Homo-oligomer: A and B are copies of this chain.
Amino acid sequence: MSLKFAILGVLELKPHTGYDLKKTIEASVAHFWSADQSQIYRTLALLVADGLAEVEVITQDGRPDRRLHRITPTGLTALHGWLASPLPPETPHDAFLVRVFFVGELGIPAATALLQARRAEADAVLFRLTALVGQDGGEAVDLAHTLRRATLRNGIRHAAAELAWLAETVEALS
């Protein structure tokens, strides 16, 4: 659902081909959204069909033509409407917590192993995001930039929360 708008958002910044989009997404929003390449192409086609984006074909030889997509005024309206619309209720799906809930059957060592594995992951995420925020410099001036940094900080906060919870939980098991 939001892939549509994530793509519109990227197209607003700059026209993209499907190929570029994949790269831009990986380089900018990968920490909270991921998209399969075929899904990107499908969604682009859908946006064009709905009049939210338009295509300029740039012929090439030796490889497929580039299909450069840009957002239309209708698309811009749709994006802004979505950004201002109320948050839909979300249905949680956390497979890790399903494991935690039932892993008691296997005893304390198995439960601890599960938590340790999770800690390694959370550590890695924290490290990666912290590096990204650091790279970014500091002095944020414009609003867009501040918000983009905020998405990274969100990931950092949650990774830290997860680590704190893991420590507390491992402790409770012993």
Query: A-side interface residues toward B, CB under 8 Å?
Result: 1-2, 5-6, 9, 12, 29-34, 79-80, 82-84, 86-88, 90-108, 110-111, 113-114, 117-118, 121, 140, 142-144, 146-148, 150-151, 153-154, 157-158, 160-162, 164-165, 168-169, 172-173
Contacts and interface: CB of A to CB of B under 8 A. Distances in A.
State the majority secondary structure of interface residues on A: helix
A2 B95 contact: yes
Nearest to A103: B83
Contact of A101 (B9, B80, B86, B165): B9
A168 B96 CA distance: 28
A103 B147 contact: yes
25 contacts: A2-B93, A2-B98, A5-B98, A6-B98, A6-B102, A12-B102, A29-B98, A32-B101, A33-B97, A33-B98, A84-B110, A86-B117, A87-B117, A100-B150, A100-B151, A100-B154, A101-B151, A103-B147, A107-B143, A143-B173, A146-B172, A154-B165, A157-B161, A157-B162, A161-B161
Given A97-B151, A104-B147, 14 more contacts: A5-B98, A32-B94, A34-B93, A83-B106, A84-B110, A87-B121, A90-B95, A101-B147, A103-B147, A104-B142, A104-B143, A104-B146, A153-B168, A158-B161
